Amino acid sequence: MAVENCTVVTDFILLGLSGRRDVQQGLFVLFLLVYGITVIANLGMILLIRMDPRLHTPMYYFLSNLSFTDVCYSSSVSPKMLADFLSQQKKIAYNLCAVQMFFFVTFGDVECVMLSVMAYDRYVAICNPLLYTIAMSGRVCTQLVATVYIQSLVYSAIFTYCTIRLSFCNSKIINHFLCDAPPLLALSTSDTTINEIVMFSYSSCVLGFSIVTVFLSYSYIINTILRMKSAKGRHKAFSTCASHLTTVTMFYGTLVFMYLHPSSSHSMDTDKVASVFYTVVIPMLNPLIYSLRNKDVKAALKKVVGTILCSD
């Protein structure tokens, strides 16, 4: 009966990160700077990889896809969040909420799996260098990336469709800065059992598969590095993995904190901070980490900068 009398929801209200006006203005400046750096740094990384022939390898092919994913991942959240900092009523249309959730889930899933693919690439390069050109040929790399995107799009489409079919009768206020699945499921007056089972099962499989792949890859990598007789060889092998290992630790660490600890031990504010970190901060840090810790990228960047200065 309650469902029959339920008013059709046409929009939601996002509470955002803070209700204080002065704090929102400060956050607007901060996150505008972060988003600007994210877009410029990641697009710069993509252009750098395309311009320098020395970076036309599987490792940097995956890195350019990670940079593209970071731009899209951050862009699915940041523009709306920035607009809400300057708005009195933080409304988002029902359809736009579904669109945001679709792209947010898609690129979050792509990033998670792409990092595991990059770990596998490092495993093949270090543990089986003679087979590297065959095992990680251009065709194989393209197929791996295509598989990552396709499975992410399919899951996101299914989950978004299931979510928008739910009823929202009691309230339309989302205690978050984006249309994420958990706060929407909590807000729904429908039976969300199927949605929760699908979300938990698939998320556990994807995150579990990715973490296991990374763990096994680096277990073999570390074992191979330790057996190397040359100290220079060990240093070179480890340096090629350092940037990726840093990125993996930040991203998976945040996801594990978000989804694998008891819900009673944290608040929604804690979830918001964690969400900001992996949707806004990490996409900005990734290209900076690869730029500062990777000799090939630094050399390519110096070459481009030198060419630009000489042409002037």
Three-class SS of 49-66? HHHCHHHCCHHHHHHHHH
* Structure-token pair, residue 224: 């191979």
pLDDT tens-digit series, residues 131-186: 898 999 999 999 999 999 999 999 899 888 888 888 887 778 888 888 888 888 88
Closest CA to 102 of 178, 168, 201, 11: 178
* CA quadruple 12, 17, 20, 24: dihedral sign: negative
Q: How far is CA 87 from the centre of its chain?
A: 27
Number of H helices, E strands in the chain: 12, 3
The residues, any chain, with a CB within 8 Å of residue 127's CB and separated by 6 or more, are 220, 221, 224
Task: Point out the least confidently predicted range of 67-71, 112-116, 302-306.
Answer: 302-306
Mean pLDDT of 89-110: 91
Closest CA to 80 of 174, 160, 179, 163: 179
Q: Is the pLDDT of residue 49 over 50?
A: yes
Average of per-residue pLDDT values in the chain: 86
- C-alpha–C-alpha distance, residues 45 and 48, integer Å: 5
pLDDT tens-digit series, residues 116-126: 999 999 999 99
Q: What DSSP designation does 276 have?
A: H
Q: How confident is the model at residue 15 (pLDDT cuts 50, 70, 90)?
A: confident
pLDDT tens-digit series, residues 208-238: 899 999 999 999 999 988 888 877 777 877 8
The residues, any chain, with a CB within 8 Å of residue 185's CB and separated by 6 or more, are 163, 166, 192, 195, 196, 199
* Structure-token pair, residue 156: 């996101």
Task: Point out the least confidently predicted range of 105-109, 263-267, 301-305.
Answer: 263-267
- C-alpha–C-alpha distance, residues 5 and 200, integer Å: 31
pLDDT at 311: 66
Q: What percent of the chain has pLDDT over 90?
A: 40
At 89 the three-state DSSP class reads coil
* Structure-token pair, residue 184: 């929407």
pLDDT at 2: 43
Residue the block writes with tokens 């890859």: 217
- C-alpha–C-alpha distance, residues 223 and 126, integer Å: 10
Does residue 90 contact residue 31 with C-beta atoms inside 8 Å? Answer: no
Sequential DSSP letters for 199-211:
HHHHHHHHHHHHH
**Residue 92 bridge partners (DSSP):** 12
- In Å, how far are 139, 171, 278 from 59, measured between CA atoms? 14, 47, 22
Mean pLDDT of 9-25: 83
- C-alpha–C-alpha distance, residues 57 and 59, integer Å: 5
pLDDT tens-digit series, residues 233-271: 778 778 778 888 888 988 888 877 766 555 555 566 777
